[in-house]
Structure 1
Amino acid sequence: MELRALRYFVAVAEELHFGRAAVRLHMSQPPLSRAIKRLEAEVGAALFHRTSAGVALTPAGTVLLDEARGLLERAERARVRVAEAGGAGAGTVTVGILGDSADPAATRLAAAYRRRHPRVEVRIREAGLTDPTCGLHAGTVDVALTRGPFDTTGLTVREPRADPVGALLRADDPLARRDSLSLADLAGRRWFRFPRDTDPLWQAYWNGGEAREGPVVRTVQECRQAVAWNGTVGMTLLGHEPGDGLVVVPLAGMPPSRVRVAWNEGDDRPLVRSFVRIALDAYGARSG
């Protein structure tokens, strides 16, 4: 079995949809379908149950998915080790991280990458909230650990995890005593907001889909200070510790914030690919 065919198979198995898998692989659907049929002929078993709504793994497909992930991981590990032995790995990788990220998964990621690549210098570029790509579009980083949504033109993106969000309020705000809130409860309130030239998709999500009025902020700390000093409101991650004098109340009906690992399309350098794989594992998703 070719590694390329296994990568195609894993993409379809994880997406459970040929169309989405084709988009993820940056190819059209017909050659992907033909590649999967050839793989099924090679292994002598159907790997998917095909329906109009999508696909589901057969028992044989479930077994192959586990084996394929292991094979691809070993192949990638071999590729990285050979590159490092040849000197290509004894270099640097620049990682963009959204500012004020205290996620324990980031600590696991750093430790795992250090174990895998002890000779590599990892340069961290912390980005403010005005650049959700953390420097990818600007060309200043190799890979970004961030949150969506944002313009993904020219980028490859994986979303290993989604986290609930809430309203950030001052502790003495009358709404702070509520068990949950809706966006309608915050209508008419002043929100902290981002500069006008910030990615529109990013602004729309974090402003709850509405045009807002209020102080302009650029960092997480500025968001908190805007609430503390002015009594404005806004959105933040439900699991984040907001700081003294502030509370976070769950927002019902608001879609979760999705962690994103992003890198430039076509960038298949071993150190970048290895970072993506380790990041997906650290944040609770298996990579393909």
Structure 2
Amino acid sequence: MRYFVAVAEELHFGRAATRLHMSQPPLSRAIKQLEAEVGVPLFTRSTTGATLTAVGTVLLDEARALLDHADRVRERVSAAAGVTTVTVGILGDGTDPGLARLAAAYRRHHPRVDIRIRDTDLTDPTCGLRAGLVDVALTRAPFDERALTVRTLRSDPVGVVLRADDPLARRDQLRLAELDDRRWFQFPQGTDPVWQSYWNGGRPREGPVVRAVQECLQAVLWNGTVGVAPLGHDLPAEFTVVPLIDMTPSRVVAVSNQGDTNPLIRSFVEIATAAYRR
């Protein structure tokens, strides 16, 4: 049902797949299976997207109600068991002192809450939030912020990651135009285009496809690919980070679903704001 609701709200299988952090073929198969079970088409497909049929419109209301009920059931079961769980998606450096301060402060404020962490790769800047896999995310912007509430915690200047023996590695600073002839790492097809554009310096590039930070570093090491990273992160001696003076800083953000009224999520965002300001 979550798959159906995602397609119904996006009216596009590709965007829905991105939102769900999955590829498009299994999503299409799941919707076709649902249509086979219902016995009628739920969408009218076209080359530009999809529209709901009359039956699909009725099912959308029912599906939303069903998912809301399922969420309430989980909350009641957890409450009856004396356990409240908050799942946090994290994309970024696990050694960030802001994250350590946040964890300590949240434990003090909510000692009975069970925090579960979902680490994610570079293909989903919402860390599974759009797909319903987490309750709140600590990640980096920019990305598609539709239907999300985004709180900026900190802004970090960025630099280009180069091999230590690269001729440009001796420079004190660089401009994006000086890297136009280089290959830049790419994210898999279907990744949020706003996110991809930022890490490519705001224009289309060519280069190897990567999913994780280690893959980015290996692409730099083996192929001389250009990588971009926030300044201040420790890297092995084989790499150098040169500041980019004309690239917008990367924002560390706390993200939740728009309209989420869970007080534990609101508290998480407020505590995170204080923790990252120090």
* Fold in common (TM above 0.5): yes
Secondary structure of 2:142's aligned partner:
coil
Contact residue 92 and residue 140 of structure 2 kept, 8 A: no
Q: Distance in 2 between matches of 1:279 and 1:209?
A: 29
Q: 5+ unaligned residues in a row in structure 1: which ranges? A: 1-85
The alpha carbon displacement at 1:234 in A equals 1.7
Alignment pair present for 1:140 and 2:133: yes
**Aligned partner letter, 2:253:** R
Structure 1 residue 115: Cα displacement: 1.1
Residues 104/88 of structure 1: CA separation in 2 closer, same or farther (3 Å cut): farther
Question: What is the CA-CA distance between 1:194 and the residue it aligns to?
Answer: 0.9
SS in structure 2 at match of 1:153 = coil
Matches of 1:99 and 1:277, distance apart in 2: 19
- Aligned partners of 1:193 and 1:203 also within 8 Å: yes
1:130 paired with 2:123, answer yes
Deviation at 1:100, TM superposition (A): 3.9
Q: Deviations over 1:29-75 (max 9, x none)?
A: xxxxxxxxxxxxxxxxxxxxxxxxxxxxxxxxxxxxxxxxxxxxxxx
Quote how far apart the aligned CAs of 1:88 are: 9.7
Matched, 1:193 2:186: yes
SS in 1 for 2:277: coil
Match of 2:261 in 1: 268
Distance 2:82 2:128 in 1: 22
Q: Which residue of 1 aligns with 2:252?
A: 259
Query: In the alignment, what sits opposite 2:240?
Result: 247
Number of equivalent positions: 200
1:242 to partner: Cα distance = 2.2
TM-score (norm. length: structure 2): 0.69
Query: Percent same amino acid among aligned pairs?
Result: 67
Q: Residue in 2 aligned with 1:5?
A: none
Out of 101, 105, 109, the position equivalent to 1:112 is 105
The alignment's C-alpha RMSD in Å is 1.6
* C-alpha deviation, 1:241, in angstroms: 1.3
The alpha-carbon deviation at position 211 of structure 1 amounts to 1.1
Q: Please tell me whether the aligned partners of residues 155 and 265 of structure 1 are also in contact (alpha carbons under 8 angstroms).
A: yes
**Alignment counterpart, residue 91 of structure 1, candidates 84, 93, 99:** 84
Q: What TM-score do you get using the length of structure 1 for normalisation?
A: 0.67
Tell me if the contact between 2:217 and 2:227 (Cα under 8 Å) persists in the aligned partners.
no
For 1:256, the aligned partner's letter is P
1:179-258 to structure 2, matched below 5 A, reads: 179-258=172-251
The aligned amino acid for 2:108 is: R
How far did residue 90 of structure 1 move?
A: 3.7
1:278 to 267, 271, 277: 271
How far does the alpha carbon of each residue in 1:147-168 deviate from its partner, in whole angstroms, 9 at most, with x for none?
A: 1111111111111210000000
Any idea what SS the aligned residue of 1:102 has?
coil
The alpha carbon displacement at 1:275 in A equals 0.7
CA contact 2:91–2:121 (8 Å) conserved in 1: yes
Equivalent in the alignment of 2:156: 163
Over 3 Å counting, the alpha-carbon distance change for 1:268 and 1:168 in structure 2 is same
